[in-house]
Chains A and B, each alone.
Chain A
Amino acid sequence: MFIRVLYFGSLRETLGRAGDVGTLPEGIRVIDAWHWFNPEKSLPENTLCAINQEYVKADATLCAGDELAFFPPVTGG
């Protein structure tokens, strides 16, 4: 299934890219998608995850066409 991934803030800078796209196995979880696209790197502590612009836990399951995002704690205001 096709998944689009976005990275923001210091995580984007550390990874050196703003996102990934790829075809992943059906029923894959958020944490699995992280390792799929970042095989050499564990998910940094405190990283927040969102599917289709809603916060989710790292064990949430992805569906085809989802927009997945990883980012550090938010610092607006």
Chain B
Amino acid sequence: MIELKSSPFDPYQTLLACQEGLHQSGLRFGATCSFVGTLRDFSEGESVVDMFLEHYPGMTEKFLARIEAEARHRWALVDALVIHRVGRIGRDEAIVLVAVWSSHRGDAFDACRYMMEALKARAPFWKRETLTGGHHRWVSGNTNGYPAHPGFDCPDTPT
């Protein structure tokens, strides 16, 4: 499941609710792996007051769904979830939650990491930070989270 949210959410309550839903559906899993990205108050030596996350309506959802589908195809997953904020985000608020459920830890760890790295490389979002003093700064780019693992290259990563 993928979802864009324009208001704050609690990633841990979301995880609990999802797990409850899986149990009620009779789905069995032995491993849950999740990643929560949170707005830091410091970036490149400056204090960040808040952030605005712009996206490309339609293309963003399409790429999140594609990334989830790729992970399901590549690993044996019981379920997968991506929730990403858009709009204004305050300090300490969750920006993104990626979670996967599988029978064993290997699939859960690898699929969760893949989805997060693919999202950062391909999903069309743009962060604009508001710094102390009120001026704005666009984040220039994401770093490659897999510099030593070319096997995780994304198939249609923009170049």
Contacts and interface: CB of A to CB of B under 8 A. Distances in A.
Nearest to A73: B141
B69 interface: no
Contacts, number: 79
Given A9-B126, A72-B126, A76-B127, A55 B158 contact: yes
A8 B54 contact: yes
A77 B126 contact: no
Given A8-B54, A55-B156, A71 B124 contact: yes
A9 B59 contact: no
Q: For chain A, give the interface size range.
A: 10 to 19
B156 A77 contact: no
Contacts of A69: 56, 59
Contact of B124 (A8, A10, A13, A46): A8
Interface string B127-149: 11000000000111110000000
Interface stretch (B7-15, B16-24, B71-79, B113-121): B113-121
Interface of A: 6, 8-10, 13, 46, 48, 50, 53-55, 69, 71-77
Interface of B: 37, 53-56, 58-60, 62, 84, 95-96, 116, 119-128, 138-142, 156, 158
